[in-house]
């Protein structure tokens, strides 16, 4: 699963877009039992992730996905898409699944704090940071950890002429499973241009479709606002 | 209609219908809950059409592998699995991504081109359908199906990595879709040894990607 990979944008934009993924491997039993009960370790993990103001947080528990996304209010729920508050997730009594959790941040300092605290907590849970390599390596150096493995992107090959235009691609690639339709992204830009919707609300409508909850509504609102202002 | 990632919901002559060839059964339309008539439903899917749902809907697990999503944990848990070891390079070739979708015929073209050069990831759902010696699907009925994306996961030695990239470059000219390409490498200190080899051969990775920071325990 490579769903946080291949996010598009300028260096400046990507420096405000980090995803932290936490996983326990289903095949490695020793990781499930490392350092005590899994439930307590996941509770600690969520406490740490929640403290650094994520713009999105997902916890998978008892087969359900608990989704927090900045700007998403219960009145915006639709279909099967339901928002949870950060408090709901942090105090959930449900048992965690193996898939565990992910969080999205807009500042390097937040990720630095998260990685540093997770190292000190020694939870035994595998942690992956998605973002600009130079920044992530610097974060880890300050946190006192060495990178273990990297996953580099060589971009998109083949009939690239089929891809949508830049701002739409930047919006849609924030959901790696491509559940956000380019036509929906164009419609949201149009609505903002016409003054029918605020960029923040349009961003939430797109983010709701990303059931893995790795979408940054904060970054999306900026992309939509700029695309609408460009008038194309 | 605008919620469909592959533009399969069409309006014509005052009616709306779903183009069943284009539809990848991702259920994005159903999940969005936006049909004013509540007319959308997903019928029971038989073989091989059920593959569309298994590969496209991230909430559906693959019964063969027991994995939801479109691939494996790949490098995300490499600190505890050791799936990719020093001197090895992994590839994830995500056919149809981002958002274009793919036919399984195109998936087979790429897998077939790679077969003699790589070791396919055994836990990957595409591998589960392949004859790994030839890179061809064991059941040819699969070829007529489509998915929002399907990931070919494989690995080889760093020495053969550039050969694999050249093979992929050639194969990319023979397909009707796109693929997004991941290259996975175990770090040596603060460096990824294969990155320099790629750059010397003219393959420049993007500035952003994923880093496993090595906090999983016990270490493999």
Residue of B nearest to A120 (CA): B215
Residue B39 lies in a domain: yes
Residue A84 lies in a domain: yes
From chain B, the residues in CB contact with A155 under 8 A are: 180-181, 206
Q: Are residues B99 and B187 in the same domain?
A: yes
Q: Are residues B190 and B142 in the same domain?
A: yes
Summarize the confidence of residues A26-33 as an average pLDDT. 90
Enclosing domain of residue A64 = 11-143
Summarize the confidence of residues B175-190 as an average pLDDT. 95
Contact check, Cβ <8 Å, B5/A140:
no
Summarize the confidence of residues B79-106 as an average pLDDT. 97
Dig out the tokens for A19 from the structure: 């995803």
- Banded pLDDT at B22 (limits 50, 70, 90): very high
- Banded pLDDT at A141 (limits 50, 70, 90): confident
pLDDT at res. B133 = 98
Contact check, Cβ <8 Å, B206/A124:
no
3-state secondary structure of B97: coil
Pairing of strands A126-132, A18-23: antiparallel
Q: Are residues A122 and A179 in the same domain?
A: no
Mean pLDDT of chain A: 93
Q: Residue B200: exposed, middle, or buried by beta-carbon count in 10 A (0-12, 13-18, 19+)?
A: exposed
**What's the CATH code of the domain at B144?**
3.90.1170
Is residue A168 within 8 A of residue A206, CB to CB? The reply is no
The length of chain A, given as a count of residues: 232
Q: Are residues B91 and B185 in the same domain?
A: yes
Close Cβ partners of B140 (under 8 Å, ≥ 6 residues apart): none
pLDDT at res. A99 = 67
**pTM confidence score:** 0.95
Closest approach of A70 to chain B, Cα-based (Å): 19
Dig out the tokens for B80 from the structure: 């505890």
pLDDT at res. A1 = 52
- Banded pLDDT at A140 (limits 50, 70, 90): confident
Q: Which range among A179-183, B65-69, B145-149 shows the weakest confidence by mean pLDDT?
A: B65-69
CB-based contact (8 Å) between A29 and chain B? no
Peptide bond into A14 cis (omega under 30): no
- Banded pLDDT at A106 (limits 50, 70, 90): very high
Look at chain B and report how many structural domains it folds into: 2
Enclosing domain of residue B35 = 9-43
**ipTM of the shown complex:** 0.95
From chain B, the residues in CB contact with A209 under 8 A are: 3, 28, 31-32
Q: Are residues B83 and B156 in the same domain?
A: yes
Does residue B124 carry a pLDDT above 70?
Answer: yes
- Banded pLDDT at B143 (limits 50, 70, 90): very high
Q: How far is residue A217's CA from residue A157's CA, in Å, rounded to a whole number? A: 28
pLDDT at res. A92 = 85
A155 phi/psi in degrees, rounded to 5: 80, -155
Q: Are residues A97 and A173 in the same domain?
A: no
Q: Are residues A137 and A224 in the same domain?
A: no
Mean pLDDT of chain B: 94
Q: Which one of B30, B99, B106, B146 makes the best mutation probe of the A interface by having the most chain A beta carbons within 10 Å?
A: B99
Condensed to tens digits (0 to 9), the pLDDT of residues A156-193 reads 999 999 999 999 999 999 999 999 999 999 999 999 99
The candidate with the shortest Cα–Cα distance to B127, out of B163, B99, B155, is: B155
Long-range contacts of A112-118 (CB under 8 A, 24+ apart): A112/A139, A112/A142, A112/A143, A113/A51, A113/A52, A114/A20, A114/A48, A114/A49, A114/A52, A115/A20, A115/A139, A115/A140, A115/A143, A115/A145, A115/B213, A116/A142, A116/A143, A116/A144, A117/A48, A117/A51, A118/A45, A118/A48, A118/B215
Condensed to tens digits (0 to 9), the pLDDT of residues A73-102 reads 999 999 999 999 999 999 888 877 766 799
Q: Are residues B39 and B125 in the same domain?
A: no
Is residue B18 within 8 A of residue B9, CB to CB? The reply is yes
Q: Are residues A23 and A119 in the same domain?
A: yes
Does residue B10 carry a pLDDT above 80?
Answer: yes
Residue B128 lies in a domain: yes
- Choose among A1, A127, A159: nearest Cβ to B213: A127
The runs of H, that is alpha helices, within B82-205 are 104-114, 158-171, 193-200
From chain B, the residues in CB contact with A137 under 8 A are: 190, 211
Does residue B73 carry a pLDDT above 90?
Answer: no
pLDDT at res. B37 = 85
Does residue A3 carry a pLDDT above 80?
Answer: no
Q: Which range among B30-34, B98-102, B145-149, B161-165 shows the weakest confidence by mean pLDDT?
A: B30-34
From chain A, the residues in CB contact with B146 under 8 A are: none
Domain end position, chosen among A143, A174, A189: A143
Summarize the confidence of residues A5-21 as an average pLDDT. 94
3-state secondary structure of B16: strand
Is residue B156 within 8 A of residue B164, CB to CB? The reply is yes
Dig out the tokens for A188 from the structure: 């949201």
pLDDT at res. B34 = 86
Dig out the tokens for B56 from the structure: 């496209």
Does residue A232 carry a pLDDT above 70?
Answer: no
């Amino acid at each position: 699963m490579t769903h946080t990979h291949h996010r598009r944008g300028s260096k400046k934009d990507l420096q405000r877009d980090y995803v932290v993924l936490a996983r326990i491997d289903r095949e490695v039993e020793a990781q499930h039992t490392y350092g005590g009960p899994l439930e307590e370790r996941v509770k600690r993990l969520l406490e740490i992730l929640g403290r650094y103001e994520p713009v999105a947080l997902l916890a998978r528990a008892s087969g359900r996905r608990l989704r927090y996304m900045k700007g998403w209010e219960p009145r915006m729920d639709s279909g099967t898409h339901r928002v949870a508050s950060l408090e709901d997730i942090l105090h959930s009594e449900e048992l965690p699944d193996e898939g565990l959790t992910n969080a999205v941040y807009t500042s390097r300092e937040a990720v630095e704090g998260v990685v540093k605290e997770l190292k000190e907590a020694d939870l035994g849970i595998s942690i992956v940071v998605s973002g600009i390599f130079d920044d992530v390596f610097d974060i880890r150096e300050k946190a006192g950890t060495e990178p273990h493995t990297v996953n580099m992107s060589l971009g998109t090959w083949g009939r690239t002429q089929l891809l949508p235009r830049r701002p739409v691609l930047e919006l849609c690639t924030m959901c790696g499973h491509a559940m956000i339709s380019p036509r929906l992204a164009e419609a949201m830009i149009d609505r903002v241009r016409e003054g029918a919707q605020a960029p923040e609300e349009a961003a939430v409508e797109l983010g709701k479709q990303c059931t893995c909850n790795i979408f940054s509504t904060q970054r999306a609102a900026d992309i939509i606002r700029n695309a609408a202002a460009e008038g194309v | 209609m605008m919620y469909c990632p592959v533009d399969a919901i069409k309006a014509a002559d005052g009616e709306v219908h779903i183009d069943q060839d284009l539809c990848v059964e991702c259920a994005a339309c159903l999940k969005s809950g936006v049909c004013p008539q509540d007319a959308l439903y997903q019928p029971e899917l038989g073989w091989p059409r059920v593959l569309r749902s298994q590969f496209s809907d991230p909430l559906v697990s693959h019964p063969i592998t027991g994995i939801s999503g479109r691939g494996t944990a790949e490098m995300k848990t490499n600190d505890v699995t050791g799936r990719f070891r020093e001197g090895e390079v992994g590839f994830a070739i995500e056919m149809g991504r981002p958002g274009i979708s793919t036919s399984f015929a195109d998936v087979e073209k790429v897998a077939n081109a790679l077969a003699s050069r790589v070791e396919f990831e055994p836990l990957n759902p595409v591998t589960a359908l392949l004859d790994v010696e030839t890179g061809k699907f064991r059941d040819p009925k699969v070829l007529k199906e489509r998915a929002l994306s399907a990931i070919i996961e494989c690995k080889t030695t760093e020495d053969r990595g550039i050969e694999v990239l050249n093979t992929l470059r050639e194969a990319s000219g023979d397909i009707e879709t796109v693929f997004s390409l991941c290259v996975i490498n175990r770090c040596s200190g603060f460096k990824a040894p294969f990155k320099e080899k790629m750059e010397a051969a003219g393959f420049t990775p993007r500035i952003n990607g994923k880093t496993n920071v090595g906090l999983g325990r016990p270490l493999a």
